[in-house]
Amino acid sequence: MEKAALIKAKNPYPKKKLSKKQREALEAWGFIGVGFLLFVVFMLYPLIKNFIIAFMNYSINPNKPSTFVGLANFKRAFVSGGILEESQKFYLALKNTFLAVLVTVPFQWFIGIIIAIAIDSLRRFKLFYRFMLYIPVISDWLVVAILFKYLFQPTSGSLVNAFLLKLNLISKPIGWFENAGTANIVIWSLCIWKGIGWVMMMYTAALQDLPKSLYEAAMVDGANKKQLFYKITLPLLSSRTYFIIISLIIGAFNILLQVMLITNGGPLGQTDVLLNYMYNKAFTSFDFGYAAAISLIMGSILITISVLQNKITKKTEIEF
């Protein structure tokens, strides 16, 4: 009794055990708190900071204060003027970005869906072909960029030039990186080659969900493969197609490593895209305010495309 009284005297306020619901709530808030903290530190704060910097002549030098300049950074991008004529460089980067979208997206989509349907119709080795075609998607950008630079060397011994010379399509080796047109072709080829596998896998998963009874009924009615593709497959895949296309468009707008590793914007900045141009302004010229303004412009374009895609997708959803 004396011992129990002594223990009680030492601990006048014994700890209360948490109930099961309280422990579960505490654990849940722990996970949510960590996720929310990471979101604030690595996403929300940089977004807000970027928005503020876009309206400033921002300096990372503590001895040189940053100043508010309003819409001056946006004016530099859209309005011609000044010594450096930044608007011309911006419009060139914007044009190259839109060209990349217009060229790479249709090719990736069309080749990807055709390959997915072709492999789905096979009886054997489906997994092998899917694996082989998906290898480019998971390949390291540095490795494939070096590979493409080697394939498109300006000599007659390079694989691409040798192939074109053998077919008599050209009379002399092409200097692929000497002008903007051919250099862009190399960049677009890399984007298409690396993206086809992703489109193929997306459609492969979607094709598994299509009802086979519709195809059987159509074949009984005498439909051929072409009619099955255009009348049944494409309409049933319409909602997934819009998702794939908008993902490809966003990916094409985010071209950066392809340009940096293949041409680095050359010759003379003629192959710059928005991300590459923005990166150089921020980390080469240290013009962070102007780079932040370009990022907001690019973000506005992508948000507009996403909103339009969302409205179109809702109207084209097909249930089966």
* pLDDT tens per residue across span 295-311: 999 999 988 888 887 77
Residue 24 pLDDT grade (very low, low, confident, very high; cuts 50, 70, 90): confident
**CA pair distance 97, 268, nearest whole angstrom:** 17
Average pLDDT value for residue range 117-140: 90
Closest CA relative to residue 275, chosen from 96, 41, 148: 96
The CATH class of the 87-316 domain is mainly alpha
% residues pLDDT > 70 (the chain): 91
Closest CA relative to residue 262, chosen from 161, 185, 174: 185
- Least confident range from 5-9, 46-50, 188-192: namely 5-9
Q: Where are the alpha helices (DSSP H) in 121-273?
A: 126-138, 141-151, 159-166, 180-207, 212-220, 225-228, 234-236, 238-253, 257-262
Does residue 106 have a cis peptide bond before it, meaning omega lies within 30 degrees of 0? no
Residue 67, beta-bridge partner list? 57
Residue 68, beta-bridge partner list? 56
Quote the radius of gyration of the chain (alpha carbons, Å): 28
**CA pair distance 277, 239, nearest whole angstrom:** 34
**CA pair distance 73, 76, nearest whole angstrom:** 5
Residue 95, beta-bridge partner list? none
214-237 per-residue burial string, b: 16 or more CB within 10 A, e: under 16: eeeeeeeeebeeeebeeebbeebb
Distances (CA, A) of 31 to 23, 39, 119: 13, 12, 42
**CA pair distance 286, 282, nearest whole angstrom:** 5
- Least confident range from 33-37, 53-57, 184-188: namely 33-37
11 pLDDT more than 70? no
What is the pTM assigned to this prediction?
Answer: 0.84
| Tokens encoding 137 | 């998607």
Average pLDDT value for residue range 37-48: 91
**CA pair distance 112, 204, nearest whole angstrom:** 10
